[in-house]
Structure 1
Amino acid sequence: MTVTRNATNEVMRRAVDQLPSMIGYWDSSLRNVFANRVYADYFGIEPQDLVGKHIRELLGETLYQLNLPYITGVLAGEQQQFDRTLIDVSGAVRVTQATYVPDVVDGVVLGFTALVVDVSARADVERQRDRAVRLFQITMENAPIGKAVLTVDGRWLQVNKALCELLGYTSEELQQKTFRDLTHPDDIPLADEHLRALADGTLTNVASEKRYLRKDGATIWVQRNATLVRDSEAGDVIIAQIQDITARKVAEVTLERQALIDDLTLLGNRRRLMAELNSLKETSSDRPVGMLFVDIDEFKSINDRFGHAVGDRVLAAIGRRILDNVRTQDCACRIGGDEFVALLHSARSAKGVERLANRVRGLLAGPYNIDGTDIAVSVSVGWSWEPTTDPDELLRIADERMYSSKRA
């Protein structure tokens, strides 16, 4: 069956009319030759009434002037593509992408085909994406605590102002570093362990207290919370919140010191000694531990004669001498007004503890020079060497020997 030219044209017309985009042809004098149903409907006229209209008449003066550079370009033989926000005949706002394709025959531009695609849905998605990105940026920049985006190998990708101020670096400087460059050396192993756990999925988030090194060399404590965000397209990243807790850590150390340290002598206090003894109970070891129990003879007479302020200075001086004569692993404490105990983890034998007791008795004896006055002091020292399974017995025996020494 032979298909006539008119029939072919009619099929082509129906096919083009069914397309969702605006399609039209304009000759070199900018008069319409053809427009599909979508094109005509957009402007509220019939397709046959559009034929012969000048493009300026169809678009209106304002839109025509906006599109004129692209019209001039396509009539010069160059394809044009641009976005335009339009309001159709019903008042709906549409975001479109227009493409002008020149019709060139034997080097002469006879006109151009206009294809206008409604991309409002895509534009709305892009606006929502841009809004989300903007909100993220606003949140990052205005957050009162440090925020950062890192790669799974620990490189800083994005950092906010608060983090830069906390660490003393610019964002550009931080982006040249990894978190290891800023982490205190003692905290790197645990930080690496957390990073591996996030990367392999063992953990989805981590929270820890760690130390960072500022650009000026200062060490600060931070509360670090990190979460892995998986993205098959952009790549996995770690979102981190970093809050300065240095003041809190200093306060904790101060409180701990106040709880366990004797302010006058800077030795441990009774609470510290009891904590050490309880720790010995928990170990349930038969390994013996040494102890010295020191009491100042007739200390009340020093207070009565020279005053409590001088007595306090004598106690402080005695504390320093005790501290100078015990090893680092040992624990020296002032447990009462004029009573001192040294728990000797370093001791190796009963004879060694006994010899140390005799030496300490001589080391702590006066005189002590306080503001030019020599104050005579003598002390009584008891000792013990007992298994750690019964630390109470350790203290009792040392106390008894101290009183035996005092009576002698």
Structure 2
Amino acid sequence: MAPDDPSSPAVGSDAERTVLAVLNGIPGLVGHWDTNLRNLHANAAYVEYFGSTPAEIRGIHLRDLLGEAVYEANLPYAREALAGREVMFDRELVDVHGQVRHTQASYIPDIRDGEVTGFFVLVTDVTARVAAERALRETIDTWRALARSVPGGFVLVFDRDLRYTVADGPALARFGLDRESMEGRTVFEVLSPERAAELAPRYRAALAGRTTTWERVLGARTLELTAGPVVSDGEVTAGIVVSHDVTDARIDERTWSALHRVATDVAQQRTPEEVAWTIASALVEVFGVNTAAVVRYVDGASADVLAMAPEHLPTVPERVVFAVGDRSTTAQIYETGRPVVAPYDTGGGSIAGQARAGGLRSSAGAPIRHRGELWGAVVLASSDEGGLDPEVLEPLTRFAELVELAISSTEAWETLARQARVDELTGLPNRRVLRAQLATEVERSHRHGRPLCLAALDLDHFKSVNDRFGHAAGDQVLRELGRRLGAASREGEVLARVGGEEFAWLMPETGPDEAREAAERLRREVSDRPFAGVGRLTLSIGVAALRADTDPATLTREADRALYEAKHAGRDRVVLA
């Protein structure tokens, strides 16, 4: 994607500012390059490092920015990224003050619709870590002291017999190990045969003077382990393994990539469902959970599930209703406005029961705010009986804050909120609102023993309108019909467009006879008043009443069946199921 490509946000545009805001929220140097190795975006840290300006960097060729020697050294990594493969490596750089900095660089493919359109370069400063690893080689006391000072890490020192002489650090417990059980014993005596067979070649490579690095995922944490030689007077005297927690760094990298997709969706005016799906899918990818969702609070008693990834669980309705004493994550966030981890236990309320029925056992969530007000939440859910680690809350909260940043403009939020609930052509509520409200009203009617009816409506012979008068005239008919239908419904009722010329009318506190009379009045209102430029049109209506054993899906099927009978009987009539 070249800078003048129409799919690239224009310089100075809202979309451009949104993308840069997301990039500036990522710790480290971030550059975005196209397939021709020309720059598309660079965050403030990237621009500052090269002592340049955004205008000077945008569109510049990678060779011209790095210089010939550094360019040739980095070109293989760029080619790997353009081939769709992520590359990560360590490199020493000299900053603008002449100081040598140790960095870790990642070349990440930018893949859209299955094609590589460029790549991102993420450079993070790991000078402190390198210095710490060098300090480990001095003495055993230094090794042990440093091991205990590395948050979430550990240090192992082993001799030529692969016997541990030092084993220390807070992360050993994550492996079910401790200092007492390791020091003085070989890797084969401490670990399982499978694990020892995996590590022994890496240890021997360290004793041969080579360094290897790998990662291990333990629950919600990711550890990076490096095995290398301990050199004294030019000779390898031992081997050392240094581990440190890179969970936050990995989450930040994946979050940065995911939030770029979110910002792009917003800039390209994707539908609310598409934006929410991108966010939910990103949550699954970033945090490695079974399920993730984006919810929007409707009122103090319910929330709409805008998207759930990788798929919407059939046991979870599109509108979840908070029961009295509900301790689900979604309910607690609404109550407190704070991130929370909560189990889906049997006493947690109806939402917890719905989630458990879908195989989930615990959840974590963080609030999404708009202009300081609680708007919704991002929610993770896991089927692991051990539950989600509370440590996930900090990166999840950062993710939610970056979502707020990606959907930064008031107009974008208001558009998302409106489009998520309103049919654009008629101005009536859409199918999502109907389904959510239907679930709420069915539950309420069953709980309190109150009547409820649903009517399915279809404009007769609408296809002939489009065929004879054109689609513009057809759209005008639907707009006028929407106005007439909206005027016919009472407060508390929902009259929604569910597709094409199909509509639905949800009537709480209404029995079958009253619903049939209301539907008959509406039918006459349509047939007695011709539509401008088109003439007389008619409406067929099927009405169904809630019974004690009826759920939302059954009530919908019965209304559709009654509508079919009205059509089959000659149209322009009301049939009660």
TM-score band by shorter chain is 0.3 to 0.5
TM-score, length of structure 2 as denominator length? 0.27
Kindly name which structure, 1 or 2, has the bigger radius of gyration based on alpha carbons. Answer: 1
TM-score, length of structure 1 as denominator length? 0.38
